[in-house]
Chain A
């Protein structure tokens, strides 16, 4: 009987402890929220659903100096995008806000992956022939991280690229007005 009581006590303590840790986690998340997000909650935005948020605002001078990568064909921006141990090229990958992007991906050494949480995009990057993979660029201009999503060796954890999203042409037009 007493062992049953001890058992229940431990279970209760465990549950209470878990609730406390969860509370702390949620509190920490809440504390960091105003810095990470601004504006309304967007359910289609993976960055607002437990994934890392890293959209950094883009300063106007820098945006002006950078030209978009690749070329636009039939309304789609086509860019040859490479991965290697441990980086991506071109870096940064520069696109315009909201435009459709077709990456022709390829790895220069072993299999890699490219993941852009803010664009809800993930693809593998095999060696050999280029493979097409499409995504729609985030609607907000800024700098977003590109991660390798396939374990590719000891430097995998630090393998990062950058997606630079310039304002869309329409937005630029509005600013000019």
Chain B
């Protein structure tokens, strides 16, 4: 019994439960419930099966990650579209974990974002974010989890810069509308993926803030390609530079401390 309860304390299981809750709310609130279930099931099944196909026998945590990617894809792709979009996005998402990796073996890109960008490029933008069905569920559910995992700075920094840059571009009068713009599902569920976003607090602030700015720029100049997702993938690619910059700053601090210590003596 206690073992079962421990399972529910695992962050990945909690994210899965949260995504399931968002799916239920999304299906209950709007129409197209059959189509929504179909797109969700297709993406989920394809992601889990692709995990086996690409990685063979894997630990249950890897399957949970694949299920999270599949559910995210299923929750964002328009349910009135072709199911092939969901299938291929899920397969590409998992394939990216195998094929697009840094030298140390960590995957470069957020898998769900990678699959979704593929679907946007190949099939046109068919994302309608139907799973972004309840801001309260997202903010309370994912927010509590992010606080526990110490990753809250990421969505917070994104929220601030996305709102401010959108208001600056749209004129200060549009501030109230701009407040509605930050995509909370994206910020609290996709941006915070631990393997493709920084763990250090200072890097998280930079990563989240840059993501907000870049998203506004992309939405402005490349509106057909989902600015949030493009911004995340760009930063995934640049993450080693962020880490490098932070390491460089650390080295400089150490050097200054040594110098100060030398002067004191």
**B-contacting residues of A (Cβ < 8 Å)?**
3, 6-11, 13-15, 17-18, 21-22, 25-26, 28-29, 46, 49-52, 54, 85, 109-111, 113, 115, 117, 122-124, 126-128, 147, 149-154, 156-158
Contact = CB atoms under 8 A, between A and B. Distances in A.
A27 to B, nearest CB: 10
A85 B177 contact: yes
Given A52-B78, A109-B177, A17 B220 contact: no
B80 interface: yes
| Highest count of chain B CB atoms <10 Å: which of A13, A117, A149, A151 | A151
B223 A154 contact: no
Contacts of B237: none
B52 interface: yes
A168 to B, nearest CB: 26
The 10 tightest CB contacts between A and B, nearest first, are A14-B52, A14-B53, A124-B223, A7-B56, A17-B49, A153-B180, A157-B128, A109-B177, A110-B177, A25-B83
Given A14-B50, A51-B124, A149-B224, 20 more contacts: A3-B57, A6-B57, A7-B57, A10-B52, A10-B56, A13-B52, A14-B54, A18-B50, A18-B53, A21-B49, A29-B84, A51-B126, A110-B170, A122-B125, A124-B223, A126-B220, A151-B183, A153-B180, A156-B128, A157-B30
A113 B223 contact: yes
A127 B219 CA distance: 12
| Highest count of chain B CB atoms <10 Å: which of A26, A85, A124 | A124
Nearest to A20: B49
Given A29-B83, A29-B84, A147 B128 contact: yes
A127 B171 contact: yes
Contacts, number: 149
A110 B174 contact: yes
Contacts of B78: 52, 157
7 contacts: A11-B52, A14-B50, A51-B123, A110-B177, A115-B224, A124-B219, A153-B180
B55 to A, nearest CB: 8
Contacts of B54: 11, 14
B227 to A, nearest CB: 7
A136 B99 CA distance: 40
A124 B220 contact: yes
Contacts of B80: 52, 54
